[in-house]
Amino acid sequence: MIGLYDGMLVTMNEQREILKNSALIIENNRILDIGTTGAMRSKYSEDAVEWISCKGRVLFPGFINSHIHTSQSIVRGVAEDMGRAPSYTSSVPQGDDLSDEESYIFSLLGAAGAMRFGSTFISDNYAHGMVNSKAFKTLGIRAVVSERVHDMDFHGLGRKEYRKDEALGEELLNKNIELLETLGTDRNNLVTACLGPHAPDTCSKELLLKIRELTDKYPVPITTHLAQSQMELDYVKAVYNRSSVEYLDECGLLNDKLLAAHGVFLKDEDMKHLADKGVHLIHIPEGNAKAGAIAAVGKMSAMGINVAIGTDNGAANIIENMRMALVSGRIYNHSITEPNPEKILEMVTINAAKALGMEKEIGSLEIGKKADIVIVNYNQFHLTPCTNVIGNLVHLALGNDVETVYIDGKRTVENGHVLGTG
């Protein structure tokens, strides 16, 4: 057993309790107990527990990164100035330009950085899903992995050319099925699979209907991009005379399994449609802001849409993305108070757990839940004084302030060093 004591616990439980001078006991991969340091130290014998002081530290539920392409770390610092998204940009490497080995290395890099900054669970979607999943196992990071499925050739998208390649769609769909069969869908395992149709404009109706059929056999999350660009909306309108949301609905994919990333160009009626169907919106604050646009997440939240956060590409710094969600939301709202830090923290914890269908297992620090825990060192100049612990995290903290990370009860980051498991 491990006993993390003398820390502050931001539980994110139903009551949103924040517990001072507290201790949390980990047994195997679960949270066995929570209480005051005094109570826990007298309840559990000195010998049975590895006691670790968390004085000056704050414990959070593991941060969940609901939309990432880890091996797209290859385009860092370049693609940001070239277009709305690397997949739609000529002259940056695309997934199938990478070998399996290269994809593994870049996936390892992307996921290690994400974990270093406090992501304990990533929803990763890209080419080479199988080798990428090996990188996640090596690191010991919780992940749900999907193949990026599409039947439009990405090499023409940068020139706004939509070239359908049926064989490509079939090949990628088969790779996604192989992932589902190999990794399985039992969320008790650390790395599992889901479905990953890329976007409404890069998947033909025939392909989306096949994915819809698969959801009967595999009732898993479906991760996609939605209303990411005007180009996407224009294409879907021209070919199907529908909005992207209507098109997905027509293909039977608009439901509470769907995690739709971006949503930058959604109209009010489409937002309402998403709310009615229980679709989860994955906000990409940093990536979208860098492309000069931002989703109306405040409005969508108010409509009842569950909003979580993804880092997409970039440095996968989830704390920075929390702050980007806060500042971009306040600019959008012309507000100095909304969204507030608590709302933002919900997006990377309990909201995200719900989006991925795992709210009973993760997303909060509660007895019986899986031990996915982020420990942040608050004993630093820029986090002092601290009168609002969540305020300090979202307004002031840096990714490197994450000191230690536990995933499934195992220490995967220690004093800022990524340990890995393999």
Binding site for Zn ion (CB under 5 A): 312
Smallest separation, CB 376 to Zn ion (Å): 27
Choose between 352 and 402: whose C-beta lies nearer to Zn ion.
352
Number of alpha carbons in the 13 Å side-chain half-sphere of residue 243: 17
Give dist(CA 124, CA 132) in Å, integer: 9
- DSSP line for 88-112: G-TTS--GGGS-HHHHHHHHHHHHH
Smallest separation, CB 42 to Zn ion (Å): 49
Choose between 236 and 261: whose C-beta lies nearer to Zn ion.
261
Choose between 246 and 312: whose C-beta lies nearer to Zn ion.
312
Residue identified by tokens 């990763």 is: 124
Smallest separation, CB 225 to Zn ion (Å): 5
Smallest separation, CB 195 to Zn ion (Å): 15
Choose between 7 and 310: whose C-beta lies nearer to Zn ion.
310
Is residue 228 within 8 Å of residue 262, measured between CB atoms? yes
Q: Is the peptide bond between 61 and the residue preceding it cis, with omega within 30 degrees of 0?
A: no
Tokens of 236: 């879907």
Name, in order, each residue with C-beta under 8 angstroms of 188's C-beta and a sequence gap of 6 or more: none
Choose between 117 and 378: whose C-beta lies nearer to Zn ion.
117
Name, in order, each residue with C-beta under 8 angstroms of 174's C-beta and a sequence gap of 6 or more: none
Smallest separation, CB 39 to Zn ion (Å): 45
Residues in the chain: 422
Radius of gyration, CA atoms only, the chain: 21
Name the residue whose CB lies closest to Zn ion.
312
Closest alpha carbon to 350 in 378, 372, 323: 372
Smallest separation, CB 208 to Zn ion (Å): 17
Smallest separation, CB 182 to Zn ion (Å): 23
Give dist(CA 416, CA 418) in Å, integer: 7
Choose between 312 and 346: whose C-beta lies nearer to Zn ion.
312
- Per DSSP, what are the bridge partners of residue 258? 222
Closest alpha carbon to 206 in 164, 157, 163: 164
Smallest separation, CB 199 to Zn ion (Å): 9
Give dist(CA 305, CA 308) in Å, integer: 10
Name, in order, each residue with C-beta under 8 angstroms of 252's C-beta and a sequence gap of 6 or more: 209, 212, 215
Give dist(CA 284, CA 224) in Å, integer: 13
Choose between 11 and 311: whose C-beta lies nearer to Zn ion.
311
Choose between 232 and 408: whose C-beta lies nearer to Zn ion.
232
Choose between 312 and 403: whose C-beta lies nearer to Zn ion.
312
Smallest separation, CB 320 to Zn ion (Å): 17
